[in-house]
Amino acid sequence: MAALTSRGLKVQPFKVGPDFIDPSYHTRICGRHSRNLDPFMMGKDGCRSTFFRASEGADIAVIEGVMGLYDGIDGGDLASTAHIARILKAPVVLVADAKGMSRSAHALIQGFLAFDPTITIAGVIINRIGSPRHQAMIGQSGIVPVLGWIPRKDEISTKSRHLGLVMAHETESLDGIGSIMDDCCNLDELLSIAAKVPPIGLASSPGESPSSARARIGIALDEAFCFYYQDNFDCLRHQGADLLFFSPLKDSLPDVDGLYLGGGYPELHLPALEAAGCTRDLKNASDDGLPVYGECGGLMYLTREIQADKSYRMAGILPGSAKMTERIQGLGYVKGTATGVSPLLVPGQTFTGHEFHYSRVIPDADARFAAQLSRGKGILDGNDGLYTSSALGMYTHAYFTAAFARNFIDLAAAFSHR
């Protein structure tokens, strides 16, 4: 993406799967919002629609895969990189890690080529080459074009922590990454491969024109709350939301009709969140009827406290407390149904999403839940959606449906017109 952007091309980035962190790098590098493509959460038509909509005005689309090429849900094909390649008729450039091997790299590549004949592997990039001698030992196979030989450079590796890579805004510099690809890859051949992709069509139209703004929705966006699907923002706007981005760490509670608190890393900013004016003001706003929706880190922030090295007071809206853990508590796709007890969820509404957290929420004995999961752990025993009369918190990072967004905005509009 960096190499193509440096050539003056408008690059539209995508990420297979429910990732939040990799897209932050894509967006920073390309200057265009990266989009998730996930058949489990979006369906095939949803993937095509997002791809078409986001690619408008771009010269080329680059899709970063997830895990191995053929790794889907529960060991199957669903939501794998290969699944997306098949949906979009996209050629695949396989990245083969050559560390610790030479000629065996060709056996690895041959296995990927033969595994699924419906996938077009148009080229391969050999990664982590130790030396010119290492490259010569691997050599050219002729099985598939080698588009690049990338040397091992530990100095450009990216730091990680408990939820994956650090966010792009925490990385001091990405300079030089594109030049490595320019120097070591045949980008002209890669562009030629992309230019030969056959046309694909939409099974249905992308949808109606966006509605006029009916309510102002505040979006928490800073170092503590930074996990969002860009499509969710589009869905809210499409259903009539005017979005206002603010920082709970630094800003006062904004004058809005509803709040959306995404996931992220509140656990890394607990003293600042405890001291923030926004944290103190949230409870009064919620008690006054302001619709508030929180996911994962947002859910934790809405409880009374988060326990880490010690207990830190949070917003105190939802009946429970959160506790950081050393072991992962939830990881994987989620599917659930609204029970109809929270105004923020339409009765019987189904939703899909993903959960990934190193924390537990301990609900009060009389706490109630707004959703029952058929897949995923949620907050407790397959229940998710801790709620009050105007607030809802879920461990699920949900992929918004039009029905959810419309209902949320309806509640916000009603609040604004009281």
For CA atoms 400, 295, 392, 350, the dihedral sign is: positive
226 carries an active-site annotation: no
pLDDT tens-digit profile of 76-113? 999 999 999 999 999 999 999 999 999 899 999 999 99
Determine how β-strand 292-295 pairs with β-strand 241-246: unpaired
**CA-to-CA distance for 313 and 302, rounded, in angstroms?**
10
- The confidence score (pLDDT) of residue 149 equals 94
**For residue 215, what are the β-bridge partners?**
241
| Residue 346 near residue 404, CB atoms below 8 Å | yes
- The confidence score (pLDDT) of residue 417 equals 87
- The confidence score (pLDDT) of residue 223 equals 94
| Residue 392 near residue 198, CB atoms below 8 Å | no
Taking only the tens of pLDDT, the chain with its 418 residues reads 999 999 999 999 999 999 999 999 999 999 999 999 999 999 999 999 999 999 999 999 999 999 999 999 999 999 999 999 999 999 999 999 999 999 899 999 999 999 999 999 999 999 999 999 999 999 866 688 999 999 987 766 676 655 556 655 666 666 677 888 999 999 999 999 999 998 877 655 555 566 788 999 999 999 999 999 999 999 999 999 999 999 999 999 999 999 999 999 999 999 999 999 999 999 999 999 999 999 999 999 999 999 999 999 999 999 999 999 999 999 999 999 999 889 999 899 999 999 999 999 999 999 999 999 999 999 999 999 999 999 999 999 999 999 999 999 999 999 998 8
What is this structure's pTM?
Answer: 0.92
Query: DSSP states of 117-182 as a string?
Result: TTS-EEEEEEEEE--HHHHHHH---SSS-EEEEEEP-GGG---EETTEEPPGGG-S--TTHHHHHH
How is residue 342 annotated by DSSP? Answer: S
pLDDT tens-digit profile of 155-188? 666 766 555 566 556 666 666 778 889 999 999 9
H or E stretch covering 217: strand 215-220
- The confidence score (pLDDT) of residue 178 equals 83
The count of residues in the chain is 418
**CA-to-CA distance for 49 and 40, rounded, in angstroms?**
15
| Residue 290 near residue 258, CB atoms below 8 Å | yes
**CA-to-CA distance for 236 and 94, rounded, in angstroms?**
36
User: What structural domains and CATH numbers belong to the chain?
Assistant: 2-195 (3.40.50.300), 215-416 (3.40.50.880)
Q: From the candidates 184, 185, 278, 296, give the one annotated as an active-site residue.
A: 296
Closest CA to 16 of 39, 50, 32, 45: 39
- φ/ψ (deg, to 5) at 261: -110, 105
Record the tokens describing residue 245, joined without a space: 């981005």
CB proximity list for 41: less than 8 A, separation 6 or greater:
18, 333, 352, 353, 354, 399
Record the tokens describing residue 361, joined without a space: 């929420």
